[in-house]
């Protein structure tokens, strides 16, 4: 689907205002979402978090259970569990929530490229890099439904090879592309990232109607302000601190590459990708009943140290 046709179809979305409830996970500054159709009370869970403490190696379901509690309290039916991309800073709770709800899981179709890249890094010769760990792989222009609401998929590369945006009525879940206007834009230096692709993704998102509500994947609370996660296309155009500095693709690529060169890797990138490339499934227990993560040494030799 072209940007023009998407924008045109969006003109009639005044009757398709989705209900969005956000859950801020302070350990990783991630935001989980429940987006629901008020008419049918069907919903999707977007970018759910499986809690992980890297110091003790402990896993918990507190964050994901908060979504389930909300769904029960509001008598919602979970139709979909949606990830916007394979996360590098937290574990996905998609597999756990599928077990609890029976809902379908989905991610962008280019996840297979991420799987092929990372199976080499982890030396997982027998790993099936075919996306079969999800119920559906979403392509650019795909349309599916939450209740009676259409959901449109925008391929959104830049932060990762596989990133997608979900447009649900008048809301768009833009993951790690734009952050809140006072924080700017997301990094593009992970394996498969591309600052120029990010620029084009951002321009596509900003071609949506000005009143479109934009929901981010993280908030790092600059200046110590309270967590925030909702902006609009109009406010991003007028206020995003990186877009005010970089008005062209060349300027943005230079800005982003200079910033990324100074950023250390997320502390959970190596544990998280191992889990998230499998749809949030933890490694199988070994003979002693314990699960183990495999951490490759010196796999990211260009990484900046803290």
Q: How far, CA to CA in Å, does 171 sit from each of 37, 150, 176, 252?
A: 12, 11, 16, 25
Does residue 2 carry a pLDDT above 50?
Answer: no
- Is 304 inside a domain boundary? no
List alpha helices for 108-264, DSSP H: 111-121, 195-205, 233-239, 241-245, 249-260
- Host domain of residue 33: 3-273
CATH code for position 106: 3.60.15.10
Asked, for residue 261, whether it belongs to a domain, the answer is yes
* Beta strands across the sheet bearing 42-46: 19-25, 30-37, 42-46, 77-82, 104-108, 136-138
The neighbouring-strand residues paired with 52 are 59
For residue 255, the surrounding DSSP H or E stretch is: helix 249-260
Does the residue 283 lie in any domain?
Answer: no
Q: Give 68's pLDDT tier (boundaries 50, 70, 90).
A: very high
Asked whether 59 and 92 are in contact (CB, 8 A), the reply is no
Q: Is residue 282 part of a domain?
A: no
Q: Is residue 109 part of a domain?
A: yes
Confidence at 16, pLDDT banded by 50, 70, 90: confident
pTM for the model stands at 0.93
The total of other beta-carbon atoms located within 10 Å of residue 143's CB is 12
Token pair belonging to 113: 């490229």
Does residue 279 sit within a domain? no
CA–CA separation, 63 and 32 (whole Å): 8
- The model's pLDDT over 148-206, given as tens digits with 9 standing for 90+, comes to 999 999 999 999 999 999 999 999 999 999 999 999 999 999 999 999 999 999 999 99
299 part of a folded domain? no
**Overall number of domains in the chain:** 1
The predicted-structure confidence for 84-121, as pLDDT tens digits, reads as follows: 999 999 999 999 999 999 999 999 999 999 999 999 99
Position 289 in a domain: no
């Amino acid at each position: 689907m072209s940007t023009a046709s998407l924008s045109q179809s969006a003109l009639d979305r005044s009757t398709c205002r989705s209900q969005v409830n956000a859950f801020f996970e302070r350990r990783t500054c991630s935001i989980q979402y429940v987006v629901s159709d008020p008419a049918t009370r069907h919903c999707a869970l977007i970018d759910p978090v499986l809690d992980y403490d890297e110091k003790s190696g402990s896993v918990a379901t507190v964050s994901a259970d908060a979504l389930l509690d909300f769904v029960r309290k509001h008598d919602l039916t979970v139709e979909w569990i949606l990830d916007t991309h394979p996360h590098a800073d937290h574990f996905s709770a998609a597999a756990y929530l599928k077990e609890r709800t029976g809902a379908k899981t989905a991610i962008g179709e280019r996840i297979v490229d991420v799987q092929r890249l990372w199976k080499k890094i982890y030396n997982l010769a027998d790993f099936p890099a075919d996306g079969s760990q999800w119920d559906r792989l979403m392509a650019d222009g795909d349309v599916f439904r939450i209740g009676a609401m259409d959901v449109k998929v925008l391929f959104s590369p830049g932060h990762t090879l596989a990133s997608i945006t979900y447009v649900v009525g008048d809301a768009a879940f833009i993951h790690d592309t734009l952050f809140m206007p006072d924080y700017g834009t997301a990094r593009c230096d992970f394996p498969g990232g591309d600052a120029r692709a990010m620029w084009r993704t951002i321009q596509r998102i900003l071609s949506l109607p000005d009143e479109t509500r934009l929901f981010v994947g993280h908030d790092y609370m600059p200046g110590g302000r309270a967590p925030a996660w909702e902006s609009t296309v109009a406010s991003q155009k007028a206020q995003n601190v990186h877009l005010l500095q970089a008005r062209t693709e060349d300027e943005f690529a230079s800005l982003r590459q200079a910033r990324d060169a100074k950023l250390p890797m997320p502390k959970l990138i190596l544990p998280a990708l191992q889990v998230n490339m499998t749809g949030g499934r933890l490694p199988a227990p070994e003979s002693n009943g314990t699960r183990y993560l495999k951490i490759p040494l010196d796999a990211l030799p260009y990484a900046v140290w803290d």
